[in-house]
Homo-oligomer: A and B are copies of this chain.
């Protein structure tokens, strides 16, 4: 199911076989929170090199809801994507909708920021929802605590997430899905002992993969790398490792070097919409007046449609006129940049040159 094709230091080249397709790792998963990767058609996402996309249980449960998705034959036909889908469980919304939710042993009651209605999610509801949607990689329902909360809170939160992991796993087993996989999520904040406690508990169940959660919530990069490094010796080598919600291009390469196989992040799509575009020399902002007259592409070496056909000047103009096409062209470029970075990482891992490549990339890349 998960095969490691080569290893260079901690970094791994692999393939995760799902019923709907193979995920080449290291993999970046474009985010389609509401069942659409912003501005992009499914075929376009595939042709940019994505093997899998991510969507979100909280948001899809709220709108359009389970009965509608089931009525449409599941998530894949509904959104027109026939490759693997990973669904985040809604645990992250415990963090991102802070102040709008109440956590109990049973689950989380959310107050919808859209219409104020109440939404209740529990391990059972989230897992059943994901299975019913026909999701390929299901995430357990957990609590994602904010960065910087005190250890006492984190201890009880980690314990709660462990009990929810058990309920999630149990629910999943009862569903007897013939093709879905389920990933556990390691919590524990910034505390190595809590992280290990969380991991140990998850290892007692037979998860198909392990995610590191509770990061990309405001912590410094150094601390994040320390947590990943700390977990490294204890992670079972034969299972895919997914670092949730991370990150910048350098974050990705540094995390691959520490053995991470899968990533998701809104950065390439969200930044596209604020005009921030990635290049091998670092990000630029298309709103900057220095691009107004440039007939050069964003990146001379980039082979994305945007760089093949359009100038910085036109992208600057589209942004200034708030043209939808600008958002599209920016998104195409940024997603291509991320997916191509993963493709290059895989190529370099194949020939044991990843460390070298990473060093050269980071030396050129100005944050």
Q: List 4 additional contacts besides A34-B317, A36-B323, A63-B321; criterion CB under 8 Å.
A: A35-B317, A71-B293, A80-B310, A324-B324
Contacts of A64 in B (CB 8 A): 292, 313, 316-317, 320
Chain A 13-49 interface mask (CB, 8 Å, partner B; 1/0) = 0000000000000000000001111111110000000
In the complex the two chains form, is B38's CB within 8 Å of A314's CB? no
Alpha-carbon distance A326/B314, docked complex (angstroms): 24
In the complex the two chains form, is B292's CB within 8 Å of A325's CB? no
Nearest Cβ on chain B to A304's Cβ, whole angstroms? 13
Contacts of A71 in B (CB 8 A): 293, 295, 313
Chain A 287-306 interface mask (CB, 8 Å, partner B; 1/0) = 00000110100000000010
Contacts of A36 in B (CB 8 A): 318, 321, 323-326
Nearest Cβ on chain B to A119's Cβ, whole angstroms? 15
For residue A96, CB closer than 8 A to chain B, the reply is no
For residue A365, CB closer than 8 A to chain B, the reply is no
Interface size on A, residues (CB 8 A): 38
Chain A 198-238 interface mask (CB, 8 Å, partner B; 1/0) = 00000000000000000000000000000000000000000
Chain A 302-345 interface mask (CB, 8 Å, partner B; 1/0) = 00010001110110111011011111100000000000000000
Name the contact of A311 in the complex, choosing from B63, B78, B309, B326 (C-beta under 8 A).
B78
For residue A364, CB closer than 8 A to chain B, the reply is no
Alpha-carbon distance A8/B325, docked complex (angstroms): 40
Alpha-carbon distance A323/B59, docked complex (angstroms): 13
Alpha-carbon distance A310/B327, docked complex (angstroms): 22
**7 residue pairs, one from A and one from B, having the closest CB atoms:** A39-B324, A34-B321, A36-B325, A36-B323, A64-B317, A80-B309, A72-B295
Contacts of A293 in B (CB 8 A): 68, 71
19 contacts between A and B (CB under 8 A): A34-B323, A35-B314, A35-B317, A36-B325, A36-B326, A38-B323, A39-B324, A41-B325, A41-B328, A63-B320, A64-B320, A72-B311, A72-B313, A73-B295, A78-B311, A78-B313, A78-B317, A80-B309, A324-B328
Alpha-carbon distance A314/B72, docked complex (angstroms): 9
Alpha-carbon distance A45/B348, docked complex (angstroms): 39
Alpha-carbon distance A311/B69, docked complex (angstroms): 12
